[in-house]
């Protein structure tokens, strides 16, 4: 298992390096990012979600979905508590604290998790991972708005959440799973091919983000290192101790750990900018935690 995890992480690191070089060689520009983001979030990610749910219905998977939903909520509130407590203990100021906590809670489940989970746990693992992502998406568009917002009265409309392509793909995918219906062959193959673009695009964009950032200030920021320590080591270790006492089944335990060990999600930068005007700060947390996760996830997996 560890060899698979290291192999997949090296692939992710390669994508990031390609994105970094492409930006430095001016093959990718800042102006390209919005278009790539739209393709990623509006086409390739929904396709990947839909394809991952094209498997026969079974009571065992239904049980997995139920357990995963409960564990996902537990992870969300546990990371919220750890993020809030660590921010207070480390003296993170009000204003900066909201970004710290939000970036700690909402991790990059699918972009990094999908290739790792598929390689290690197959179709069953992907269904479990998509379930985590569904819970996290709903939380991000509800609880996340309040966490990131400088104005705690800010809300997001239910209609806006339901129009999210990833949410739509999840709803359609689970509907087909429960009804035991599959996409026709050509659509199935198309969703597989489009979904296959998700991880390369996401990680190349991360590499380009690193190339476009002020690396000097990023590497000199004590706060960014402290955040990465909390997000990539403290959170997964604490949650792993909890999981080992309640999850006996290996696949459920392994994926719960991987979800808790994922770096801060790229969408946090958008939410931090939209609701608090602190997108640059959030992007630093995202970039550094993503870089560090390439090494911390395989090392911490030895504890599972």
For residues 34 and 198, give the distance between their C-alpha atoms in angstroms, rounded to a whole number. 15
Residue at token pair 């690193």:
210
Distance CA 216, CA 128 (A): 39
**Structure confidence at residue 274 (pLDDT):** 75
pLDDT of residue 151: 61
Token representation of residue 131: 């379930």
Alpha-carbon span 268 to 64, nearest angstrom:
28
pLDDT tens, residue order, the chain (304 aa) = 678 888 888 888 899 899 999 999 999 988 888 888 889 889 998 999 999 999 999 999 999 999 999 999 999 999 999 999 999 999 998 888 999 999 999 998 888 888 889 889 999 999 999 999 889 988 888 788 888 876 655 566 666 667 888 889 999 999 999 999 999 999 999 999 999 998 899 888 888 888 887 777 777 889 999 999 999 999 999 999 999 888 877 899 999 999 999 999 888 887 887 777 787 788 889 888 988 998 899 999 888 7
Question: Of 76, 103, 74, nearest to 87 (Cα)?
Answer: 103
How many C-beta atoms surround the C-beta of residue 3 within 10 A?
8
Catalogue all structural domains in the chain, each as residue range(s) with its CATH number.
2-301 (1.20.1530.20)
> In sequence order, which residues have a C-beta less than 8 Å from that of residue 241 and are 6 or more positions away?
none
> CA of 38: how far to CAs of 41, 42, 110, 181, in Å?
5, 5, 16, 28
Supply the angle between the helices 45-52 and 198-212 in degrees, to the nearest 10: 140
């Amino acid at each position: 298992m560890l060899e698979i995890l290291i192999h997949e992480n090296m692939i992710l690191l390669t994508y990031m390096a390609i994105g970094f070089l492409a930006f430095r060689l001016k093959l990718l520009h800042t102006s390209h990012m919005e278009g790539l983001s739209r393709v990623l979030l509006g086409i390739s990610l929904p396709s990947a979600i839909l394809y991952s749910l094209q498997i026969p219905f079974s009571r065992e998977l239904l049980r997995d979905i139920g357990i995963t939903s409960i564990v996902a909520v537990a992870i969300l509130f546990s990371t919220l508590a750890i993020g809030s407590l660590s921010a207070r203990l480390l003296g993170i100021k009000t204003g900066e604290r909201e970004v710290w906590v939000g970036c700690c809670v909402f991790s990059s489940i699918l972009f990094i998790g999908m290739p790792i989970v598929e390689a290690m746990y197959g179709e069953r693992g992907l269904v479990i991972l998509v379930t985590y992502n569904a819970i996290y998406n709903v939380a991000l568009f509800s609880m996340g708005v309040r966490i990131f917002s400088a104005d705690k009265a800010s809300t997001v409309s239910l209609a806006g959440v339901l129009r999210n392509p990833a949410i739509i793909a999840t709803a359609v995918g689970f509907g087909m799973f429960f009804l035991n219906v599959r996409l026709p062959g050509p659509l199935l193959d198309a969703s597989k091919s489009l979904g296959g673009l998700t991880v390369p695009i996401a990680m190349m964009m991360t590499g380009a983000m690193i190339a476009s950032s002020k690396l000097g200030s990023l590497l000199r920021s004590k706060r960014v290192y402290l955040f990465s320590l909390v997000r990539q080591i403290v959170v997964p270790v604490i949650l792993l101790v909890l999981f080992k006492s309640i999850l006996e089944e290996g696949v459920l335990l392994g994926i719960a750990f991987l979800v808790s060990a994922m770096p801060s999600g790229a969408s946090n930068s958008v939410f931090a900018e939209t609701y608090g005007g602190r997108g640059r700060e959030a992007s630093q947390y995202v970039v550094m935690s993503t870089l560090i996760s390439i090494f911390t996830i395989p090392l911490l997996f030895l504890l599972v």
